[in-house]
Amino acid sequence: MGNLLCCVQVDQSTVAIKEKFGKFDEVLEPGCHFLPWCLGSQLSGHLTLRLQQLDVRCETKTKDNVFVNVVASIQYRALADKASDAFYKLSNPRSQIQAYVFDVIRASVPKLTLDDAFEQKNDIAKAVEDELEKAMSAYGYEIVQTLIVDIEPNVQVKQAMNEINAAARMRVAANEKAEAEKILQIKRAEGEAESKYLSGLGIARQRQAIVDGLRDSVLGFSVNVPGTTPKDVMDMVLVTQYFDTMKEIGAASKSSAVFIPHGPGAVRDVASQIRDGLLQGSVQH
């Protein structure tokens, strides 16, 4: 019906190319336009001004001989003031953009190692964008943004990289664990040393208290019981301690049993041996 009435409609974000007798006449903006086809006017086609995206996958090799697939995402659109150039100069703009992307990526990535390629993704994207902007502006297209969205090495290479990363992390974990064990052992040794020091102080005080108690017992017994000598008192104290020791050994449920002579004569011998040992120690000192 529009063609019969010589009227055409151009949608929003779209322009139409008007020709007259096969020659470019003008660019029609969105809206309703009079098109007298009987006078040789006709529409050659439409051109969208919307932002478009093209994903390009390019296989190339890095400097360290690793084959990778580089995925570039190109966002572009036709310029309204250069709509005639965009419509007439390129029959397939997507193929043209893809060719330029291949050229730049295959010229840039082989100069980099695999690690450098991952680190310099933005530099690669900038190089692609600069080349596309310079080339496509002559055809009426604007390159809005270029992104390197992925760099995919070979599956075996990716697995090897993951294993290297895992090994490095395990090495760090082992070092941290060893350091923790070292600190734990140091703290344990410090605690044991402190415990032994305090135990030594306790034993020293205990022995001092025993010596003081024996001295007081000997003095008190000699005063309260006439006719006894310090030697008699010492023998009695030693025998008393001997029986106390026997009592403790017998009362302990899980202690190792020590069998020693325990008859009256043996007690006298034990007392004599202890006394002689003390006297010999006094003589040597």
pTM score above 0.75: no
Mean pLDDT of the chain: 81
Spell out the CATH class of 52-153: alpha beta
For the chain, give the percent of residues with pLDDT over 90: 26
What separation in angstroms does the CA of 134 have from each of 38, 51, 130, 140?
A: 42, 18, 6, 11
Report how far residue 153's alpha carbon sits from residue 89's, in angstroms, rounded to the nearest whole number.
37
Give the pLDDT confidence of 115-156 residue by residue, as tens digits.
899 899 999 999 999 999 999 999 999 999 999 999 888 777
Give the pLDDT confidence of 174-187 residue by residue, as tens digits.
888 888 888 989 98
Is the pLDDT confidence value at 101 over 60? yes
Higher pLDDT, 98 or 220: 98
Nearest to 108 by CA among 140, 165, 146, 55: 146
Q: Which amino acid is at 109?
A: V
- According to DSSP, the residues that pair with 27 across neighbouring strands are 17
* Average pLDDT for 92-112: 92
What separation in angstroms does the CA of 17 have from each of 48, 91, 97?
A: 11, 14, 23
Q: Domain limits of the chain?
A: 7-48, 52-153, 192-284
Confidence of residue 1 (pLDDT cuts 50, 70, 90): very low
Query: Ranked by mean pLDDT, which of 146-155, 156-165, 214-223 comes out on top?
Result: 146-155
* Average pLDDT for 221-245: 70
